[in-house]
Protein backbone atom coordinates (compact mmCIF):
# COMPACT_ATOMS: atom_id res chain seq x y z
CA UNK A 1 0.00 0.00 0.00
CA UNK A 2 1.83 3.12 -1.25
CA UNK A 3 -0.40 5.71 0.50
CA UNK A 4 0.24 9.24 -0.82
CA UNK A 5 2.91 9.56 -3.51
CA UNK A 6 4.41 12.87 -4.59
CA UNK A 7 6.68 13.56 -7.55
CA UNK A 8 9.20 15.00 -8.04
CA UNK A 9 11.08 14.99 -4.73
CA UNK A 10 13.26 17.94 -5.69
CA UNK A 11 13.07 20.62 -8.35
CA UNK A 12 14.85 23.85 -9.21
CA UNK A 13 12.94 26.36 -11.32
CA UNK A 14 13.91 29.63 -12.88
CA UNK A 15 11.73 32.67 -12.23
CA UNK A 16 8.78 32.67 -14.61
CA UNK A 17 8.88 28.97 -15.38
CA UNK A 18 5.89 26.76 -14.69
CA UNK A 19 5.57 23.23 -13.40
CA UNK A 20 3.14 20.72 -12.00
CA UNK A 21 3.63 18.91 -8.73
CA UNK A 22 2.03 15.50 -8.91
CA UNK A 23 0.13 13.82 -6.09
CA UNK A 24 -1.66 10.50 -6.14
CA UNK A 25 -3.22 8.40 -3.38
CA UNK A 26 -4.37 4.80 -3.43
CA UNK A 27 -6.55 4.84 -0.31
CA UNK A 28 -9.75 5.92 -2.09
CA UNK A 29 -9.89 9.08 0.03
CA UNK A 30 -12.29 11.77 -1.11
CA UNK A 31 -10.49 14.61 0.64
CA UNK A 32 -7.13 15.88 -0.53
CA UNK A 33 -4.97 18.87 0.43
CA UNK A 34 -1.92 20.81 -0.65
CA UNK A 35 0.24 22.51 1.96
CA UNK A 36 3.44 24.46 1.86
CA UNK A 37 5.91 24.33 4.73
CA UNK A 38 8.27 27.19 5.42
CA UNK A 39 10.78 27.17 8.31
CA UNK A 40 9.19 28.18 11.60
CA UNK A 41 5.81 28.73 9.95
CA UNK A 42 4.14 25.35 10.22
CA UNK A 43 1.98 24.21 7.33
CA UNK A 44 -0.16 26.58 5.32
CA UNK A 45 -3.10 25.23 3.30
CA UNK A 46 -2.92 26.16 -0.39
CA UNK A 47 -5.89 24.31 -1.89
CA UNK A 48 -8.11 21.43 -0.95
CA UNK A 49 -10.60 19.12 -2.65
CA UNK A 50 -13.63 17.33 -1.26
CA UNK A 51 -14.01 15.01 -4.23
CA UNK A 52 -13.43 14.64 -7.93
CA UNK A 53 -14.32 17.86 -9.72
CA UNK A 54 -14.57 19.94 -6.53
CA UNK A 55 -11.75 22.17 -5.30
CA UNK A 56 -11.50 25.28 -3.16
CA UNK A 57 -8.93 27.80 -2.00
CA UNK A 58 -7.11 27.51 1.27
CA UNK A 59 -5.13 30.10 3.18
CA UNK A 60 -2.43 30.89 0.56
CA UNK A 61 -3.76 30.11 -2.95
CA UNK A 62 -2.20 32.98 -4.92
CA UNK A 63 0.15 31.78 -7.65
CA UNK A 64 -1.21 28.22 -7.66
CA UNK A 65 -3.92 26.23 -9.38
CA UNK A 66 -5.30 22.75 -8.89
CA UNK A 67 -7.55 20.27 -10.60
CA UNK A 68 -9.16 17.03 -9.47
CA UNK A 69 -10.35 14.93 -12.37
CA UNK A 70 -10.11 11.62 -10.50
CA UNK A 71 -10.35 10.52 -6.88
CA UNK A 72 -6.70 9.42 -6.95
CA UNK A 73 -4.94 12.46 -8.40
CA UNK A 74 -4.63 16.04 -7.19
CA UNK A 75 -1.92 17.95 -9.11
CA UNK A 76 -0.74 21.42 -8.09
CA UNK A 77 0.22 23.85 -10.85
CA UNK A 78 2.62 26.79 -10.57
CA UNK A 79 2.16 29.01 -13.60
CA UNK A 80 4.80 31.75 -13.19
CA UNK A 81 7.27 30.68 -10.55
CA UNK A 82 8.48 33.34 -8.14
CA UNK A 83 11.19 33.20 -5.44
CA UNK A 84 8.45 33.46 -2.80
CA UNK A 85 7.29 30.00 -3.87
CA UNK A 86 10.52 28.41 -2.71
CA UNK A 87 9.25 25.95 -0.12
CA UNK A 88 8.53 22.33 0.69
CA UNK A 89 5.16 21.21 -0.63
CA UNK A 90 3.12 18.43 0.94
CA UNK A 91 0.11 16.66 -0.41
CA UNK A 92 -2.23 14.94 2.05
CA UNK A 93 -5.46 13.01 2.01
CA UNK A 94 -8.09 11.98 4.54
CA UNK A 95 -11.04 9.58 4.45
CA UNK A 96 -13.34 11.79 6.47
CA UNK A 97 -13.73 15.41 7.42
CA UNK A 98 -15.80 14.59 10.47
CA UNK A 99 -13.63 16.16 13.12
CA UNK A 100 -12.76 13.06 15.12
CA UNK A 101 -11.88 11.12 11.98
CA UNK A 102 -10.06 13.85 10.08
CA UNK A 103 -6.68 12.11 10.16
CA UNK A 104 -4.43 13.28 7.37
CA UNK A 105 -2.00 11.04 5.51
CA UNK A 106 0.95 12.85 4.01
CA UNK A 107 3.27 12.31 1.09
CA UNK A 108 7.03 12.68 1.52
CA UNK A 109 7.06 16.18 0.05
CA UNK A 110 8.49 18.09 -2.91
CA UNK A 111 11.34 20.49 -2.19
CA UNK A 112 11.14 23.37 -4.67
CA UNK A 113 13.65 26.17 -5.20
CA UNK A 114 12.91 29.12 -7.48
CA UNK A 115 16.02 31.03 -8.51
CA UNK B 1 -11.78 30.52 14.92
CA UNK B 2 -9.59 27.67 16.04
CA UNK B 3 -5.83 28.04 16.49
CA UNK B 4 -2.90 26.41 18.25
CA UNK B 5 0.27 27.87 19.70
CA UNK B 6 3.34 25.77 20.31
CA UNK B 7 5.67 27.16 22.95
CA UNK B 8 9.29 26.80 21.94
CA UNK B 9 10.50 26.26 18.40
CA UNK B 10 13.36 24.07 19.65
CA UNK B 11 13.62 21.74 22.63
CA UNK B 12 16.77 19.84 23.57
CA UNK B 13 16.84 16.93 26.01
CA UNK B 14 19.32 14.24 26.98
CA UNK B 15 18.66 10.63 26.11
CA UNK B 16 16.58 9.09 28.91
CA UNK B 17 15.20 12.44 30.10
CA UNK B 18 11.57 13.54 30.13
CA UNK B 19 10.22 15.05 26.93
CA UNK B 20 7.67 17.87 27.30
CA UNK B 21 6.40 19.73 24.23
CA UNK B 22 3.86 22.44 24.92
CA UNK B 23 0.71 23.26 22.97
CA UNK B 24 -2.09 25.67 23.80
CA UNK B 25 -5.25 25.90 21.77
CA UNK B 26 -8.02 28.38 21.13
CA UNK B 27 -11.41 27.11 20.11
CA UNK B 28 -14.97 28.36 20.34
CA UNK B 29 -16.28 24.78 20.29
CA UNK B 30 -15.08 21.59 21.95
CA UNK B 31 -11.76 20.98 20.23
CA UNK B 32 -10.46 17.98 18.39
CA UNK B 33 -6.69 18.00 18.91
CA UNK B 34 -3.87 16.10 17.26
CA UNK B 35 -0.14 15.70 17.49
CA UNK B 36 1.77 14.85 14.33
CA UNK B 37 5.46 13.96 14.02
CA UNK B 38 7.74 14.68 11.06
CA UNK B 39 10.99 12.76 10.75
CA UNK B 40 13.72 14.23 8.54
CA UNK B 41 12.83 14.30 4.85
CA UNK B 42 9.44 12.72 5.44
CA UNK B 43 5.84 13.83 5.57
CA UNK B 44 3.88 14.20 8.78
CA UNK B 45 2.32 11.20 10.47
CA UNK B 46 -0.22 10.99 13.24
CA UNK B 47 1.17 10.50 16.75
CA UNK B 48 -2.07 10.72 18.74
CA UNK B 49 -5.42 12.46 18.85
CA UNK B 50 -7.96 13.71 21.37
CA UNK B 51 -11.62 13.71 20.43
CA UNK B 52 -13.88 13.16 23.44
CA UNK B 53 -13.78 11.04 26.57
CA UNK B 54 -10.57 10.23 28.40
CA UNK B 55 -8.38 13.32 28.72
CA UNK B 56 -5.11 11.35 28.81
CA UNK B 57 -4.39 10.07 25.34
CA UNK B 58 -1.73 7.51 24.51
CA UNK B 59 -0.03 7.42 21.14
CA UNK B 60 2.70 5.59 19.33
CA UNK B 61 6.30 5.24 20.49
CA UNK B 62 5.47 5.85 24.17
CA UNK B 63 4.13 9.38 23.73
CA UNK B 64 1.06 10.65 25.50
CA UNK B 65 -0.81 13.94 25.81
CA UNK B 66 -3.25 15.31 28.34
CA UNK B 67 -6.18 17.53 27.41
CA UNK B 68 -6.71 20.22 30.06
CA UNK B 69 -9.71 22.35 29.30
CA UNK B 70 -9.12 24.73 32.20
CA UNK B 71 -5.65 25.51 30.87
CA UNK B 72 -6.57 25.20 27.15
CA UNK B 73 -3.54 22.96 26.80
CA UNK B 74 -2.64 19.71 25.10
CA UNK B 75 1.00 19.11 26.03
CA UNK B 76 2.90 16.11 24.66
CA UNK B 77 5.09 14.05 26.97
CA UNK B 78 7.31 11.00 26.96
CA UNK B 79 8.95 9.73 30.16
CA UNK B 80 12.28 8.77 28.59
CA UNK B 81 13.66 10.22 25.38
CA UNK B 82 15.31 8.04 22.79
CA UNK B 83 17.63 9.15 20.01
CA UNK B 84 15.03 8.05 17.48
CA UNK B 85 12.60 10.65 18.87
CA UNK B 86 14.56 13.46 17.25
CA UNK B 87 12.05 15.03 14.87
CA UNK B 88 9.70 17.96 14.47
CA UNK B 89 6.38 17.79 16.28
CA UNK B 90 3.23 19.63 15.27
CA UNK B 91 0.17 20.27 17.36
CA UNK B 92 -3.03 20.66 15.34
CA UNK B 93 -6.71 21.47 15.85
CA UNK B 94 -9.62 20.77 13.58
CA UNK B 95 -11.31 23.91 12.27
CA UNK B 96 -14.40 22.92 10.33
CA UNK B 97 -13.09 20.33 7.94
CA UNK B 98 -9.62 21.78 7.81
CA UNK B 99 -6.65 20.97 10.02
CA UNK B 100 -4.87 23.97 11.51
CA UNK B 101 -1.25 23.28 12.39
CA UNK B 102 1.02 24.96 14.89
CA UNK B 103 4.43 26.25 13.86
CA UNK B 104 6.15 23.10 15.09
CA UNK B 105 8.71 22.24 17.76
CA UNK B 106 11.96 20.59 16.78
CA UNK B 107 13.15 18.07 19.35
CA UNK B 108 16.86 17.40 19.70
CA UNK B 109 18.03 14.40 21.72
CA UNK B 110 21.60 14.43 23.07
CA UNK B 111 23.51 11.23 23.74
Task: Give me the pLDDT at residue B97, please.
Answer: 73
Closest A-chain CA to B39? A108
Question: Whole-angstrom Cα distance, residue A21 to residue B80?
Answer: 40
In tens, the pLDDT along B33-68 reads 999 999 988 899 999 999 888 889 999 999 999 999
In tens, the pLDDT along A37-63 reads 998 888 999 999 999 999 999 999 999
Give residue A1's pLDDT band: very low, low, confident or very high (50, 70, 90): low
The candidate with the shortest Cα–Cα distance to A93, out of A106, A108, A74, is A106
Of A4, A45, A105, nearest to B98 by CB-CB distance is A45
Of B41, B44, B103, nearest to A106 by CB-CB distance is B44
Contact A59, B98 (CB under 8 A): no
Smallest CA–CA separation between A41 and chain B, in Å?
Answer: 5
B23 pLDDT exceeds 70? yes
A97 pLDDT exceeds 80? no
Put simply, the answer to whether A99 touches B42 (Cβ < 8 Å) is no
Strand A76-78, strand B73-78: pairing: unpaired
Put simply, the answer to whether A102 touches B94 (Cβ < 8 Å) is yes
B87 pLDDT exceeds 90? yes
Residue A84 is given by DSSP the state G
Interface of B with A (CB under 8 A): 9, 32, 34, 36, 41-46, 49, 51-52, 90, 94, 97-99, 101-104
Put simply, the answer to whether A108 touches B42 (Cβ < 8 Å) is yes
Q: Is the peptide bond before A47 cis (omega within 30 degrees of 0)?
A: no
Put simply, the answer to whether A109 touches B42 (Cβ < 8 Å) is yes
Helix, strand, or coil (residue B96)? coil
List the end-to-end C-alpha distance of chain B, in Å, as a whole number. 41
Question: Whole-angstrom Cα distance, residue A24 to residue A39?
Answer: 25
Residues A92-97, mean pLDDT to the nearest whole number:
87
Put simply, the answer to whether A102 touches B41 (Cβ < 8 Å) is no
Mean pLDDT for chain A overall: 93
Residues B19-34, mean pLDDT to the nearest whole number:
91
Task: Give me the pLDDT at residue A100, please.
Answer: 65
φ, ψ of residue A83 in degrees (nearest 5): -55, -30
Amino acid sequence: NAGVTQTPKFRILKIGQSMTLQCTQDMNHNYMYWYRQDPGMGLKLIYYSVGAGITDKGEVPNGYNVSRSTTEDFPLRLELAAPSQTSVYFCASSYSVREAKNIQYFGAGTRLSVL
Amino acid sequence: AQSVTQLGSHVSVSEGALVLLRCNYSSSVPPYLFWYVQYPNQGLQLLLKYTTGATLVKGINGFEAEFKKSETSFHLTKPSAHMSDAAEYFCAVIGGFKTIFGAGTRLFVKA
